[in-house]
Each structure stands twice: as C-alpha cells, then as structure tokens.
Structure 1
Amino acid sequence: MSVNVTPHLNFRGDARKALEFYQSVFGGKLVIAAYSDMGNTDPATADHVSFGQLTAENGFSVMAYDVYPHLEWDQGKDPFFVSVRGTDTAELQGYWDKLVDGAEVKQPLGPSEWAPLYGQLTDRFGITWVLDIAVAYPA
C-alpha cells in the first residue's frame, strides 16, 4: 500500500481564487465543484468551493474548500506550513517567483545552514509556504 499526504486548505470564500493562483504557480489540472453543484441554492455561498483539488504531473497536489458561513472558522496564525521540497533549484526558484507576488516574505529564498536553498513566505491568501531543496539528513 502506498500513502500520499495532500494539504487540504480551508478558506472563507477565497478557495477558488487561491486554487487558480496555485495552478498559475505549479501548473496541473484543477477540479472545482461549487456548493451549487451539490444543490445549494443560497446565493451567498452557491459559488463557493465545496471541493477543489489541484494535481500536477510533478507530484504537487493541494486540496481546498470554502468553510460554510454557519460553521466556526479561524485561520489562526501559522496553524501549518505547506512544504514544497524539490531537487531542482531552477524549478523551485520559479515557484518562489510566482508565490512571492503579494506575499509577506518571512525568509528570503537562498542558502541556509540546513539546505542549499530555503525560503518561507505567507501568500496573499494567508497560507505559509516553505520551499527548499531536499538534502539527506544523518539518522
């Protein structure tokens, strides 16, 4: 059996914009089902995302949805990071260059003590991303 872990991001009305932005960064196929596709006729939430997934050929995958307005939701402060770890410096730099648009840079992309390339930013949707080049760590 193999297992894949896919970050599932929760939004309040911004899931579609966020997924479309991530598609512009990573490429891939985007699937979105709105609440109206599930029978919701409330005009306030009909276009909100009930299921969204972006999957790219390189293995990148992220899911997202818009939390129903009647449910409690608080994005919090850095409740998690989405880590994009790769082996190709140019590819990682390309993702960074797109994600950084409208973002708050927490650690500029560059060499670090633990990786040849590492950076951290919080994007315009409030999601914190960590991008780095994978290295082998001693046991």
Structure 2
Amino acid sequence: MAISTTTHLNFRGDARAALEFYQSVFGGRLTVVEYGDFGMPRDLPDADKVVFGQVTADNGFGIMAYDVPGHAPAASAPAATTRADGMTLTGERFFVSVRGETAEEVGALWDKLADGADVIEKYGPSAWAPGFGMLTDRFGVTWILDVAAPYAG
C-alpha cells in the first residue's frame, strides 16, 4: 500500500494570497474553490473565502489550505520560533519541511520564500546538511528548507 501526506494549512482570510505566493515559489497548479462555489449565498461575508485550495507541482510539492469561516485576517505578529545555541525554541505545533537534492535548488526556493519573511536561521551549510535554513513566511507559517545529506551507512 502506498500513501502520501500533504500539509493542510488553516488561514484567517488570506488562504488565496498564501496559495498564490506558494505557487510563485514552488511552481505547479493552483486550485481554489470558494465557499460560494459550494452553495453559500454570495451576499454572505465568507462567500469569497477559500473552502478548498491547493498547489500541486510535478516535482512532488503539494500543499493545501482553506480559510476558517468567520475569522478576519490575523494581524502580523513576530515569529514565535527562534534559534539559540544550536537549538530551536518554539511554541508552534508544526513546521513545514521542504527537502531537496542540491544546495542550489533549495537555495533558489529559499530566496523566493524569504520574501517578506522573518528569517530564523539564514540558509547555508550546517553541521548536518549541505544546506539548511528556517523562516516564518509573511503568512505566519514556519518553514524548514534543507538539502538531503549523503547517506553514510
């Protein structure tokens, strides 16, 4: 049996903007379905919000998102995650991790995703990987980007 997993992000009114941004970073196809498309009367406040959205790319990247109904966009807040003395300190329940094969390909993704982000640890070589970086993007999602280390087994 084969299975796969896809991160599903919950937003407070800005799922469409986040998905469009992630598509600009990772490429792929964008699908957005609004609550109004599923029968919610168009005159209600959430009718134009995302009930189902996803970005899927041929390189294997996939992410899903929707807008939690009845919530206004969240105010910008400083990153809840920090790095100190080689440790990651956080109260967040999850991070999104993207791993690639080369420092160049991951670095190119980093450069795009870092636009408007709070950088927690700048992308570069680390003790455990040829490339590693951590940031909280402009939508409040914390990402870890790294390069698969060669297997030494």
TM-score, normalised by the number of residues in structure 1: 0.90
CA shift at 1:43, angstroms?
Answer: 3.0
Pairing 1:92-111 to 2, within 5 Å after superposition: 92-111=106-125
What do residues 42-95 of structure 1 show as CA deviations (whole Å, max 9, x unaligned)? 53101100000100010000000001117xxxxx85221000001022211111
| 1:48-87 correspondence runs (5 A) | 48-69=49-70, 77-87=91-101
RMSD: 1.9
Partner amino acid for 2:20? E
User: Any stretches of 5+ residues in structure 1 without a counterpart?
Assistant: 71-75
**Within 2, Cα distance between the matches of 1:79 and 1:126?**
13
Aligned to 1:73: none
CA distance in 1, matches of 2:101, 2:152: 18
Please name the residue that 1:20 is paired with: 20
Q: How many angstroms does 1:102 deviate by?
A: 0.6
> Aligned equivalents of 1:63 and 1:9: distance in 2?
6
What amino acid is aligned across from residue 122 of structure 2 in structure 1? P
Structure 1 residue aligned with 2:147 = 133
Q: Secondary structure, in 3 states, of the residue corresponding to 1:69?
A: coil
Secondary structure of 2:97's match?
A: strand
TM value normalised by structure 2: 0.82
User: SS in structure 2 opposite 1:93?
Assistant: helix
2:102, 2:148 within 8 Å by CA — same for their partners in 1?
A: no
Compare 106-115 and 42-51 and name the one that shifted more.
42-51
